[in-house]
Amino acid sequence: MNIKLLLIAASLFMVGCGDATRTESAADFVARMEVEGNELSKEASAAYWVRSTYITSDTAILAAKAGERGLAFESAMVKQAKQYLGTDMDPDTTRAIELMLRGSSAPAPDDAALRAELSAILTDMEGQYGAGKYCNAEGVCKELQELEAVLAESRDYDELLEVWKGWREVSPPYRKEYQRFVEIGNLGAQEFGYDNLAELWQGGYDMDSKTFTIESRRLWDEVKPLYDELHCHVRAKLSETYGADKVALDKPIPAHLLGNMWSQTWDNIYDIMEPFPGVAPVDVTAAMQSQGWDEIKMTKTAEGFFTSLGMPALPDSFYKNSMLKKPRDRNVVCHASAWDIDNGNDPRVKQCVEVNGEQFGTLHHELGHIYYYLLYKDQPSIFKGGAHDGFHEAIGDTIQLSMTPSYLQEKGLMGEITEGHEATINKQMKLALEKIAFLPFGKMIDEWRWQVFSGEIAPEDYNAGWWKLREEYQGIEAPVARSEQDFDAGAKYHIPGNTPYTRYFLSFIMQFQFHKALCEAAGQEGPLHECSIYNNKAAGEKLSNMLAMGQSKPWPDAMEAITGQRAMDGKAITDYFAPLNVWLKEQNKDRSCGW
């Protein structure tokens, strides 16, 4: 989320802007930021929290002003940090200066009017998204969560199409604002020493932008063959369900049929895809609802996973200050997010929790962020962050991989566990529809933005460029004709919310790498997909030690600390899903795959 990145910037740069000179040593400069930044960061965090949990014109003003101050300090501090390039510094100070010079995802030019405009645009776009709803011809209005439920549960082609089109009426009003954001953000990136925002974003991984793009492509090439097999099988089953006239076997899949508003995960159509009907059913939603679970019990159960690893209990303030249920009386940004309000002293989650299995998993994901905050709490402010942003996203998802049937059974959410080949294939199919289906989506979101930022996709081609990449990477297509009057990219939160997305692609690679390493640390034997590190202190210690590093060292050091490797590696994914991959190849042997 853009506000998180801005708050990181605020915590680093909210200091006296005009009085640092080269007479101040680099180490003193960094120390001064540590002392002076914390209180202003807390103030800005509070302003953004209120904006996200109480969307009004008044909170928009407060958040925009807070953002404007943060952008001003960031711009001034980056300018000052440049003075220390090429000077002799100790390793920690060198690392701190390097992190400062990366800036945030929305750097502002050193111009008060442009800073104010940029902050107002970012605040307004996020607010419009959060307040968005679709009203049908009868005047019945539904917010995003209700629309998502239709896509997850309905199997009526026309109803799915109406809902899919309806949500995409929310984003065209801020298409021009997005274009202006790109213009201002590129000016800011150029002042920071980059050609455009694409280079700045790609430069946040302890490697130059060209090396990073090559590395991310390598990772995609490692996992693409498994995705292609899954895509081929899913398309065939959807064609059987809806008819070959609606789902052709030689074309991309219509985007509204995959159970998710953005076709990013497909596990909601597991009922169509289940390889062996009735074998090893896992209906966590029904179990929680029948047992009277609520958002507090779900959250405390997720917390219990982390404490079982030897991590601390959440502070009382977490439950007092978090928003775990959608308020009835106001608009809020329901998109789940974790917040570090006061340098680890006031961590919070903002999530409109509903009692279902997907939200239960999301809570484990968000608490992954929270425990990262808690465990790097004692680092200097400049080092409070993930080793890179993909690390932050991967932690909770690594825990999710340990939410195995045995874990769910221990929590009273499953009965007798079914073993055997058919049960394994069913479980792997359900997970692959979530994890493998996501990979190209996670890759293409920023591919689109990088091309927008660099000018390769011109403003008049935003929508055409979006669908070109969706077809190239995901093999899906819009179910109805789209035009440049639409802004379909903006119908996904992370575009108006200005949250870099490659972090999620990388996290979906690394979580399997982490899972494999933690299972080895736990001494678990047997197939990787059956391993759960729940209640294992040895695995918890290895994970905790890595989390406590924050971003004090380049990410390969953190990777080595948890896995023994210094590179990201997709091999753990292919190892994990080996049984399903063999089964998919058998199903697809007489089919024509590809699009």
Give domain status of residue 95, yes or no.
Answer: no
Look at residue 74 in the predicted model and tell me its pLDDT: 77
Q: How many angstroms separate the Cα of 28 from the Cα of each of 7, 20, 90, 441?
A: 22, 10, 12, 43
* Domain assignment of residue 372, given as a range: 281-417+501-587
Please report which residue ranges of 192-329 form alpha helices under DSSP H. 197-202, 209-242, 270-273, 284-290, 295-308, 316-321
DSSP helix/strand/coil, 151: helix
Look at residue 24 in the predicted model and tell me its pLDDT: 86
- Cβ atoms 59, 10 nearer than 8 A: no
Tell me the pLDDT band of 100, cut-offs 50, 70 and 90.
confident
Greater confidence, 185 or 358? Answer: 185
HSE-up of 361 (CA within 13 Å, CB side)? 16
Mean pLDDT value across residues 280-297: 92
* 20-44 pLDDT, tens digit each: 445 689 998 888 877 766 666 777 8
Give domain status of residue 581, yes or no.
Answer: yes
Give domain status of residue 397, yes or no.
Answer: yes
Q: How many CB atoms lie within 10 A of CB 332?
A: 17
With residue 29 as reference, give the H or E element that holds it.
helix 26-53
| Nearest-angstrom CA–CA distance, 405 and 417 | 7
On the question of pLDDT at 385 being above 50, the answer is yes
Mean pLDDT value across residues 424-438: 96
Query: What is the count of structural domains for the chain?
Result: 1
Give domain status of residue 526, yes or no.
Answer: yes
Amino acid at 487: F
Give domain status of residue 76, yes or no.
Answer: no
Greater confidence, 3 or 318? Answer: 318
* 456-508 pLDDT, tens digit each: 999 999 999 999 999 999 999 999 999 999 999 999 999 999 999 999 999 99
Greater confidence, 390 or 3? Answer: 390
Phi, psi of 374 (to 5 degrees): -65, -35
- Cβ atoms 339, 4 nearer than 8 A: yes
- Give the chain's mean pLDDT: 91
Look at residue 336 in the predicted model and tell me its pLDDT: 93
Look at residue 4 in the predicted model and tell me its pLDDT: 40
| Nearest-angstrom CA–CA distance, 507 and 509 | 5
Greater confidence, 228 or 382? Answer: 228
DSSP helix/strand/coil, 72: helix
Look at residue 22 in the predicted model and tell me its pLDDT: 54
Give domain status of residue 311, yes or no.
Answer: yes
Burial class (CB in 10 A: 0-12, 13-18, 19+), 415: exposed
* 500-557 pLDDT, tens digit each: 999 999 999 999 999 999 999 999 988 999 999 999 999 999 999 999 999 999 999 9
Can you say how many angstroms the Cα of residue 144 is from the centroid of all Cα atoms in its chain?
A: 18
* 180-226 pLDDT, tens digit each: 999 999 999 998 889 999 999 998 898 888 899 999 999 999 999 99
Mean pLDDT value across residues 123-136: 94
With residue 338 as reference, give the H or E element that holds it.
strand 337-340
Share of the chain above pLDDT 90, in %: 77
Q: How many angstroms separate the Cα of 123 from the Cα of each of 59, 292, 388, 588?
A: 10, 38, 25, 47
Q: Which two tokens stand for residue 474?
A: 């995901």
Mean pLDDT value across residues 144-165: 96
Give domain status of residue 117, yes or no.
Answer: no
Look at residue 20 in the predicted model and tell me its pLDDT: 41
pTM across the whole model: 0.89
DSSP helix/strand/coil, 82: helix
Give domain status of residue 490, yes or no.
Answer: no
DSSP helix/strand/coil, 135: strand
Mean pLDDT value across residues 312-337: 94
Active site residues: 335-336, 365-366, 369, 393, 494, 504
